[in-house]
C-alpha cells in the first residue's frame, strides 16, 4: 500500500478523568475518503482538533506525509497542506466568491494578505481560485459576493477555500450540516468528484452520505475505535450495530440500487 497521507498512532486525549481519545490509530491513504463516525459525544471533533493542531494530544503521534507533526503549530500544519474546512466561518461576506478563494490561495502560498499585489501574481492567484471554484461547481458565481449566496453555495465555497490552498489532505468537519435535501445531493456529487484527487478525512452525521461516499469508515465509541473497514464490512459489524442500536439513521441495510 502507498504511504498514507495521514497516520495516527496511539493517539490519546483526556479531559480531566474523561478519556475522549483512547489509543486511536488510523490511516488515510492517498485519494481515499476515510470517514469517522460515532454517536454524539464519541470524540470525533476532539480527534479532528488534534489532527488540525487546535488541541495537543496527551500521547501518541500524528504523521503527515511521513513527517511527525504531533507538536507542530496549527498554521505550520496548514502550510504543509493540511486543510480543514470550517463551517462557513472562514468566508468573508463582502468579498466575491473569487476573492474569497484567491485569499485562500495566497494563504496557501505562505504569504500574508496584501491589498496591493503585483498584477502577474494576482492573475496567478485568481487562476488558482477559479480552478477551485470550478471544482465545486461555483465558477458561474465567481463574481457574486459570498454574503449573497445560499446556504448550500456557502458550503460549496467553503470547500473551494480549502481546495485553493492546494491541500494534500482535506479535513471535512460536517460538510453537509444544515444543508437541505437538494443541497445535500449536490454536495455529495461534488465530494465524490474530489475522491481520488485528494485524501479526505470526513466527519459527518448524515449516514446515507457517509455510506455512499466513504472508501473506508472508522467507528468511534467513547473515544475508542471499535472498527475500521469498507462500508459493507462496517454495515455487517455486530459491535457497530449495537453501538447504533436505537438510532435509526445508520443505513444498516445496503441502499437499493
Ligand X SMILES: Nc1ncnc2c1ncn2[C@@H]1O[C@H](COP(=O)(O)OP(=O)(O)OP(=O)(O)O)[C@@H](O)[C@H]1O
From 9, 12, 45, 87, residue interacting with ligand X (rule: CB under 6 A): 45
Residue 15 binds ligand X, judged by CB under 6 A = yes
Among 46, 156, 165, 184, binds ligand X (CB under 6 A): 46
Instruction: Tell which one of 5, 26, 33, 43 touches ligand X (CB under 6 A).
Output: 43
* From 5, 34, 38, 104, residue interacting with ligand X (rule: CB under 6 A): 38
DSSP 126-193: HHHHHHHHHHTT-GGGTTSBGGGS-HHHHHHHHHHHHHHT--SEEEEE-TTTT--HHHHHHHHHHHHH
Cα(74)–Cα(115) distance, integer angstroms: 25
CB of 159 to ligand X, least distance (A): 20
Contact 247, 39 (CB under 8 A): yes
Q: Is residue 40 near ligand X by the rule CB under 6 A?
A: yes
- Rule CB under 6 A: choose which of 5, 7, 11, 20 binds ligand X: 20
Q: Distance between CA 177 and CA 152 in Å, rounded?
A: 10
Only one of the segments 1-9, 41-49, 58-66, 112-120 lies at the binding site for ligand X (rule: CB under 6 A); that segment is 41-49
Q: Shortest approach of ligand X to residue 39 CB, angstroms?
A: 7
How many other CB atoms are found less than 10 A from the CB of residue 59?
14
- Minimum distance from residue 249 beta carbon to ligand X (Å): 12
Considering the complex, state which of residue 177 and residue 242 has its C-beta at the smaller distance from ligand X. Answer: 177
**What φ, ψ does residue 10 adopt, rounded to 5°?**
60, 40
C-alpha cell at 176: 453537509
Amino acid at each position: 500500500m502507498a504511504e498514507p497521507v495521514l497516520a495516527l498512532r496511539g493517539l490519546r486525549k483526556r479531559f480531566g478523568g474523561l478519556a475522549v481519545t483512547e489509543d486511536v490509530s488510523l490511516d488515510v491513504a492517498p485519494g481515499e475518503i476515510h470517514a469517522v463516525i460515532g454517536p454524539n459525544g464519541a470524540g470525533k471533533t476532539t480527534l479532528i482538533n488534534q489532527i488540525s493542531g487546535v488541541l495537543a494530544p496527551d500521547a501518541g503521534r500524528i504523521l503527515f506525509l511521513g513527517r511527525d507533526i504531533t507538536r507542530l503549530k496549527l498554521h505550520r500544519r496548514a502550510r504543509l497542506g493540511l486543510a480543514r474546512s470550517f463551517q462557513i466561518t472562514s468566508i468573508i461576506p463582502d468579498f466575491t466568491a473569487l476573492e474569497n478563494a484567491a485569499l485562500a490561495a495566497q494563504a496557501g502560498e505562505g504569504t500574508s494578505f496584501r491589498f496591493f499585489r503585483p498584477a502577474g501574481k494576482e492573475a496567478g492567484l485568481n487562476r488558482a481560485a477559479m480552478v477551485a471554484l470550478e471544482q465545486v461547481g461555483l465558477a458561474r458565481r465567481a463574481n457574486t459576493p459570498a454574503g449573497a449566496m445560499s446556504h448550500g453555495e456557502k458550503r460549496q465555497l467553503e470547500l473551494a477555500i480549502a481546495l485553493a490552498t492546494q491541500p494534500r489532505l482535506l479535513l471535512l468537519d460536517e460538510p453537509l450540516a444544515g444543508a437541505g435535501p437538494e443541497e445535500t445531493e449536490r454536495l455529495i456529487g461534488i465530494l465524490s468528484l474530489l475522491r481520488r484527487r485528494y485524501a479526505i478525512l470526513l466527519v459527518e452525521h448524515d449516514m446515507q452520505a457517509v455510506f455512499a461516499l466513504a472508501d473506508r469508515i472508522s467507528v468511534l465509541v467513547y473515544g475508542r475505535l471499535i472498527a475500521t473497514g469498507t462500508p459493507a464490512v462496517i454495515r455487517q459489524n455486530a459491535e457497530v450495530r449495537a453501538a447504533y442500536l436505537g438510532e435509526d439513521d445508520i443505513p444498516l441495510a445496503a441502499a437499493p440500487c
